[in-house]
């Protein structure tokens, strides 16, 4: 039976901080050859101006539901699943644009191979100022389904993006399950959903770890599926939250008698084990 796919789009101040990139994401899904069963947009603590712009944009769009939330990133995604009525979920952040008009057909095919997956080819836009000056062009080309235009200005992350180390940059060339990945609702419930870490970061890693323990290895989305990440800065408070959440993540590993879990070792070949057990 063909899966009914609900798309859960998590957004926060997309207009203020990311040039309205949530509209790019929604337009991508509305221009698919096969449309999603529904789109659940979880508006998590956006300011009033952003929320009103989002409501105006979605007001005349089919099968789109906006859910207001005031919670963590993981909690907002969990809330989106609770409001979804499909058999499978695609998680999509408001700054990650699926490229191509067969995304739903491709994910439907991947759903027959495993209960969850991630690791699409992840391209990056130029900086946010460039995006701001090209909003109209990007919108026009999305509506025209000119995916090649979006690929033309994209790039693979280099080491100076967000000042990451080599391992993290390698990981950033693939999507995580939260910013673009899929899972069946049944297995999402069995795993228990995303951990509700405070602030920014690591809920993706934690959920991937729990999925791995419960469901085994993910389906790795091939290079045939590409997404374009809208580059935007990360502030110092978010970086501090990330460091704090790394401690919580390590505690999760230790609860399951494991020292390390590396998403990159799932996404890329490695001689090292995915999980180092005590």
Task: Answer with the residue of higher pLDDT: 235 or 129.
Answer: 129
* Cβ partners under 8 Å of residue 234, min gap 6: 162, 200
Residue 275 has pLDDT above 80, yes or no: no
**3-class DSSP state for residue 133?**
coil
Q: Band the pLDDT of 47: cuts 50, 70, 90.
A: very high
Domain ranges of the chain: 5-277
* Cβ partners under 8 Å of residue 253, min gap 6: 209, 259, 260, 261
Residue 278 has pLDDT above 80, yes or no: no
How confident is the model over 263-268, as a mean pLDDT?
Answer: 77
CA distance 33 to 37: 13
Across 25-34, 39-48, 73-82, 261-270, least confident range: 261-270
- CATH number, span 5-277: 3.90.550.10
The proportion of the chain whose per-residue pLDDT surpasses 70, expressed as a percent, equals 92
Instruction: Give pTM, 2 decimals.
Output: 0.94
Beta strands in the chain (DSSP E): 5-11, 38-44, 64-69, 88-93, 96-99, 116-118, 121-124, 180-184, 219-220, 226-229, 258-261, 275-277
Residue 156 has pLDDT above 80, yes or no: no
Tokens of residue 187, six digits: 């297995």
Residue 161 has pLDDT above 60, yes or no: no
Residue 5 has pLDDT above 80, yes or no: yes
How confident is the model over 101-112, as a mean pLDDT?
Answer: 96
Residue 79 has pLDDT above 70, yes or no: yes
Residue 105 has pLDDT above 70, yes or no: yes
């Amino acid at each position: 039976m063909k899966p009914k796919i609900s798309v859960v789009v998590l957004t926060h101040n997309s207009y203020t901080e990311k040039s309205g990139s949530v509209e790019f994401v929604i337009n991508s899904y509305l221009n698919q050859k096969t449309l999603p069963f529904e789109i659940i947009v979880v508006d998590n603590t956006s300011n009033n101006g952003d929320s009103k712009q989002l409501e105006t944009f979605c007001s005349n769009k089919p099968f789109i539901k906006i859910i207001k939330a005031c919670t963590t990133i993981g909690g907002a995604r969990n809330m989106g699943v609770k409001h979804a009525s499909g058999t499978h979920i695609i998680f999509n952040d408001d700054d990650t644009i699926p490229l191509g008009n067969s995304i739903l057909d491709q994910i439907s095919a991947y759903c027959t191979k495993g209960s969850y997956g991630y690791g699409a080819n992840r391209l990056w836009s130029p900086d946010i100022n460039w995006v701001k000056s090209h909003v109209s062009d990007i919108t026009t080309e999305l509506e025209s389904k000119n995916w090649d235009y979006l690929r033309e200005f994209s790039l693979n992350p280099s080491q100076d993006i967000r000042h990451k180390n080599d391992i993290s940059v390698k990981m950033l060339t693939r999507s995580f399950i939260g910013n673009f990945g899929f899972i069946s609702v049944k297995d999402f419930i069995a795993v228990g959903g995303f951990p509700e870490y405070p602030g920014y970061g690591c809920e993706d890693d934690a959920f991937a770890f729990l999925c791995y323990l419960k469901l085994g290895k993910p389906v790795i989305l091939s290079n045939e599926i590409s997404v374009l990440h809208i580059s935007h800065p990360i502030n110092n408070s978010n970086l501090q939250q990330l460091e704090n959440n790394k401690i919580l993540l390590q505690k999760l590993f230790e609860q399951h008698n494991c020292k390390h879990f590396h998403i990159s070792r799932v996404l890329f070949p490695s001689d090292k084990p995915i999980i180092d057990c005590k």
